[in-house]
Chains A and B, each alone.
Chain A
C-alpha cells in the first residue's frame, strides 16, 4: 500500500504549481471579482433551488409513496413569482455589469498611452518615447495606462487575465483598453481571438515595474527616436509638409494643435479629431475634407504600415506649431533629408506625461 514517495512528491509539486484563481493585479480586478462572486452565488442558489425542488418532489411524490397523482392545472401566482424574481435578479446583473463595462472601457483622462499592433502571430508594443517591444509590455505600477490597438491583418484579441481586461484588436480601426496595474510582477498576455495557425503562440508577458524601475527601463530601452520623431520624418519623406505647411496660402489644413479640436467638414458635419479620425483621414482623405479645402489629397491606403500611421498620428498629436514643418520644408526643398538627430529638447517635449 501507499504511493511511492517520488510519485507523491511529484504530485504535490504538480498540484502546487497549478492555479485555481487568477491574481488580482489591477485596480479593476476586485470589481470584476465582486460581480463574479455575486453571479456564482446566484448560480449556486438557483441550482440549489432546482435541486431541492426536483429531489424533494422526487422523494415525497415517488410512486411508492404516492401511487396516484393529483392533477394540477398551474398557478398564475407561481408563474408570476418565477417570472418576476429571476427577471429582477437578471436586471441587477445587467446594471452591475453595465457599470463595470463602462469602468473597464472608459479610460481616465490622465492615462498614459501605449500603442499596440497585433499581427499574425505577435504583439508589437510602441511606446511614445520610442521603446519598441515584441510580445512584451513594460508598464509602471500605480499609473493608468491606455492601450490604443490595431491589427495589421486579422482579428486578434488582447487579454491580460490577471488585470481582467480584454479587447478585440481589429484591422482598420483603433480600439482601446485601459488598466492600472497594482503589483509589480509579470503576467500573461494572451491573444484570445482565433487568428490562424500559431494562435496559441501569440502570447506575451506584461511586466509591471515600480515607478523607479520603470523610469530606468524607459531610459535603457529607448531606440533613441520617439514615435513623434519617426512621424516627423515620415511626414517630410511622404511630402505631407508640401500642403500641410501651416502657411496661410497652403493647400492643406494647418495641423498644428488640430488634435482634440472640433473640425467642420465640407459636408457640414462636425468631427472630433482623435487618433481614429487622423488615421482615417490619411487613408481615406476624400471622406474627410475639412471645410474650405479642395479634395485634392490622394489616398495613402497601402502605402503606410500601421506602425507608420501610429508614428504620424503621434506626430500630429504632439504638433504645437508649424515652425519645424516649415524648416523641414526648406531643407527638403534643397534636396536634403529631413533632420534625423533629435535634440534633447524635442524628446522631452514629445514624451508627454
Chain B
C-alpha cells in the first residue's frame, strides 16, 4: 500500500497488485499450441522444456532414493531382494547424474539466462539447442525403457568386467541411453562456448560478464572435452559385451583398469560440470541480497577456470586402492589437493561479499547459505579422500556416499533451488509464496543433514556402499538416515506444489522484483521472445548497484 516507508526486512518491491498485469506479449504467449513448443528455437522455451523434463526425472530418481532408504531401515534385505536393491541404486545413480545433475542448471537456468545476460537474442545455434533437448529426451526414454524392461544392476559406474561379462540385465540399453544423453550435454556446452565468445552485446567485455556466465563457460569446456571420453568408454563396454573385443579383458591381453581410467577421466570432471554452474547461481544470489559487488570478482571468475583446468588431472584419485603405482598415486593426490583450493577461494569470497553489505534473507538467500555450509562440509570431506592413506579406509564406504551427496545434493541441488526461486519471477512473471518457500528451504536443510551426517559415521565404521544387507550394529544410524530422507522428501515436494500454485496465483513480479543489476532484470518478466527490443549497450560492470540506483532515479524523474 504505502511505499513511502520502505520495509527493511526485504528488498522485494512489487508493482501495485491491484493494477499490475503480466505484459501483453511475452515468450510464453507469443505462439500457441504444442507444436510451437516442440519445434521452438527460443532458448527460453527450450529451457522450460528442459525444466519440466529434468523435474520429472528428479522425482523418479528421488523415488529410487526413497526405496533405497526404506530397504536400509532394517539390516536384512527384507523389503526387496538383493538384485532388486542393486537395480534401485543403479537407476538412482544413472537418473540423478546423467538426467538431472549434469543438465540441471546449465540446460534450464543457463539456457534461459546466458543469452539474456550477454545481451543476445538467442544462443548461437538455436536448432542445435533444440536437438540437444531431443537427445536428452531420447536418452531419458531409453533409460526408462531399460527400467521398464527389468532394470540394470551395473551401478552407475559400469565397472568392467562385471558390466561386460557377468550381468544379464539391460546394460546395452542403459549404455546407449547415456551415450545419447552425453551428446545432448556436448551440444549444450558447444552452444554456450560459441555464444559467450561471439554474441556478447556491445560493451559486454569478458570482465563485465556475470559470474554465472563464467562458471557455465568453465563447465561447458568440461562438457565438450570430457564427455567424448565417456562415450568412448561406453562404446567399448558395449563392444566388449556384444563381440568380446577384449580391451578390458585380462584373458585377452586387455586391462580392466583401463576402463577405470577412461570412465573417471570423464566422471571426475563431470563432478565439476555439475557443481560449477551451481556456484554461478550462488554468486548472483549472494550479490543481489547483500546489495554488493561480488568480492574479488576476478578471483571468483578465474577460480572457475582453474577448477575446470585442474579438474581434468585428478581422475586417478578414484583408484588409489586399485593397485596403481604408488608414485602415480602421489601425483594424483597432490593435484587433488590443488583443485580443492579454488573452491575454498570461492567460499571466502562469497562470505566477504556479505561484509558491509545490506543483507536480506529471502528464500534464494536461505538456499545459498545452505549451499555454503553444506558445500564447505562436502569439500573438506573431499580432502579426507584425496589424502592417500585416509582414502584407503574411507573409499567405497558410506563416507564417500555422504561426501558426494554433500557436494551434489547439499551443494548443487541447494544451488539449483536457489536459482529456481531467484529467477522464477523472471521466467514466469509471478512470485512464489515467500513464507512457504522459506519453510521448504529450512526443511530441506534439516532433512539433508539428518540424512547424510550419520552416513559419515557409518563410513568410518566401515559400512560398505551398495549393500542391501548390513551388520545389525549399523542399524541405529541407518534408521536416522532414513528418517532424514523422509524430511528431505517433504522439503522437495513443497516447491513442486507451491511453484505450481504460483503459476496462476502468484503475485505479479514486475521487471525487477529483487532490484538486481543483471541485464535479465532490466527487461520485462516474462521476457519477449526476442529478449530485447533494441540491442543493449553495456557501459557498467556486473553487480554495479550504483548504476542501477542512478538508472532507477532517472526513470522516476522521467515518469514524474
Q: Which residues of B contact A166 (CB under 8 A)?
A: 321, 392-393, 395-396
Q: How far is the CA of A35 from the CA of B473 in the complex (A)?
A: 25
Question: Is A190 a contact of B462 with CB atoms below 8 Å?
Answer: yes
Q: How far is the CA of A79 from the CA of B300 in the complex (A)?
A: 10
Contact with A along B268-299 (1 / 0, CB 8 A): 00000000000000000000001111011111
B344 within 8 Å of A (CB atoms): yes
Q: Which residues of B contact A90 (CB under 8 A)?
A: 337-338, 340-341, 383, 386
Looking at the assembled complex, report how far the CB atom of A17 sits from the nearest CB atom of chain B, in whole angstroms. 6
Q: How far is the CA of A32 from the CA of B167 in the complex (A)?
A: 36
Question: Is B351 a contact of A50 with CB atoms below 8 Å?
Answer: yes
Q: How far is the CA of A93 from the CA of B389 in the complex (A)?
A: 10
Q: How far is the CA of A67 from the CA of B358 in the complex (A)?
A: 6
Which of B20-28, B368-376, B438-446 is the interface stretch?
B368-376
B348 within 8 Å of A (CB atoms): yes
Question: Is B340 a contact of A153 with CB atoms below 8 Å?
Answer: no
Which of A19-27, A219-227, A322-330 is the interface stretch?
A19-27
Q: Which residues of B contact A91 (CB under 8 A)?
A: 337
Question: Is B460 a contact of A155 with CB atoms below 8 Å?
Answer: no
Which of A128-136, A198-206, A253-261 is the interface stretch?
A198-206
Contact with B along A60-84 (1 / 0, CB 8 A): 0111101111111111001100110
Q: Which residues of A contact B457 (CB under 8 A)?
A: 20-21
Q: Which residues of A contact B498 (CB under 8 A)?
A: none
Question: Is A39 a contact of B468 with CB atoms below 8 Å?
Answer: no
A47 within 8 Å of B (CB atoms): yes
Residue tally, chain B, CB below 8 Å to A: 100
Contact of A98 among B10, B155, B330 (CB under 8 A): B330
Q: How far is the CA of A72 from the CA of B292 in the complex (A)?
A: 8
Which of B113-121, B250-258, B529-537 is the interface stretch?
B250-258
Looking at the assembled complex, report how far the CB atom of A34 sits from the nearest CB atom of chain B, in whole angstroms. 10
Q: Which residues of A contact B360 (CB under 8 A)?
A: 62-63
Q: Which residues of A contact B157 (CB under 8 A)?
A: 194
Q: Which B residue's beta carbon lies closest to that of A302? A: B251
With contacts A39-B384, A86-B340, A98-B330 known, is A190 near B464, CB below 8 A?
Answer: yes
With contacts A90-B340, A153-B161, A190-B462 known, is A199 near B477, CB below 8 A?
Answer: no
Interface residues of B in 372-419 (CB under 8 A from A): 372-373, 376-377, 380-381, 383-384, 386-393, 395-397
Interface residues of B in 141-186 (CB under 8 A from A): 153, 155, 157, 159, 161-162, 165-167
Question: Is A53 a contact of B351 with CB atoms below 8 Å?
Answer: yes
Q: Which B residue's beta carbon lies closest to that of A85? A: B344
Q: How far is the CA of A165 from the CA of B321 in the complex (A)?
A: 10
Looking at the assembled complex, report how far the CB atom of A7 sits from the nearest CB atom of chain B, in whole angstroms. 15
B359 within 8 Å of A (CB atoms): yes
A245 within 8 Å of B (CB atoms): no
Question: Is B320 a contact of A101 with CB atoms below 8 Å?
Answer: yes
B197 within 8 Å of A (CB atoms): no
Looking at the assembled complex, report how far the CB atom of A166 sits from the nearest CB atom of chain B, in whole angstroms. 5
Contact of B467 among A31, A197, A199 (CB under 8 A): A199
Question: Is A200 a contact of B467 with CB atoms below 8 Å?
Answer: yes
Question: Is A47 a contact of B376 with CB atoms below 8 Å?
Answer: yes
Contact of A39 among B388, B390, B469 (CB under 8 A): B390
Q: How far is the CA of A188 from the CA of B468 in the complex (A)?
A: 16
Q: Which residues of B contact A46 (CB under 8 A)?
A: 376, 380
Question: Is B293 a contact of A73 with CB atoms below 8 Å?
Answer: yes
Contact of A67 among B8, B257, B466 (CB under 8 A): B8
Residue tally, chain A, CB below 8 Å to B: 92
With contacts A97-B389, A200-B468 known, is A22 near B462, CB below 8 A?
Answer: yes
Q: Which B residue's beta carbon lies closest to that of A22? A: B461
Looking at the assembled complex, report how far the CB atom of A211 sits from the nearest CB atom of chain B, in whole angstroms. 26
Q: How far is the CA of A14 from the CA of B470 in the complex (A)?
A: 15
Q: Which residues of A contact B345 (CB under 8 A)?
A: 79, 82-83, 86
Q: How far is the CA of A175 from the CA of B461 in the complex (A)?
A: 24
Contact of A18 among B291, B337, B373, B477 (CB under 8 A): B477
B82 within 8 Å of A (CB atoms): yes
Contact with B along A89-106 (1 / 0, CB 8 A): 011011011111111110
Q: Which residues of B contact A284 (CB under 8 A)?
A: 253
Question: Is A194 a contact of B293 with CB atoms below 8 Å?
Answer: no
Q: How far is the CA of A196 from the CA of B90 in the complex (A)?
A: 11
Q: Which residues of B contact A295 (CB under 8 A)?
A: none
Contact of B466 among A20, A63, A74, A200 (CB under 8 A): A200
Name, among A73, A100, A188, A193, the residue most crowded by chain B CB atoms within 10 Å (CB to CB): A193
Q: Which residues of B contact A154 (CB under 8 A)?
A: 159, 161-162, 165-166
Interface residues of A in 95-150 (CB under 8 A from B): 96-105, 120
Q: How far is the CA of A46 from the CA of B340 in the complex (A)?
A: 13
Q: How far is the CA of A39 from the CA of B354 in the complex (A)?
A: 28
A58 within 8 Å of B (CB atoms): yes
Question: Is A200 a contact of B82 with CB atoms below 8 Å?
Answer: yes
Which of A156-164, A262-270, A311-319 is the interface stretch?
A156-164
A-B contact pairs, 10 of them (CB 8 A): A19-B461, A46-B376, A61-B290, A69-B545, A75-B295, A93-B387, A101-B388, A154-B162, A170-B323, A171-B161
> What are the 3 closest A-B residue pairs judged by CB atoms, nearest first?
A161-B462, A100-B389, A172-B250
Further 8 A-B residue pairs, CB within 8 A, beyond A19-B474, A54-B369, A159-B397: A74-B299, A100-B390, A101-B391, A164-B393, A172-B256, A200-B77, A200-B467, A284-B253
Name B residues whose Cβ lies closer than 8 Å to a Cβ of A.
8-11, 77, 82-83, 86, 153, 155, 157, 159, 161-162, 165-167, 250-251, 253, 255-257, 290-293, 295-299, 320-323, 326, 329-330, 333-334, 337-338, 340-341, 344-345, 347-349, 351-352, 354-361, 369, 372-373, 376-377, 380-381, 383-384, 386-393, 395-397, 457, 460-462, 464-477, 545-546
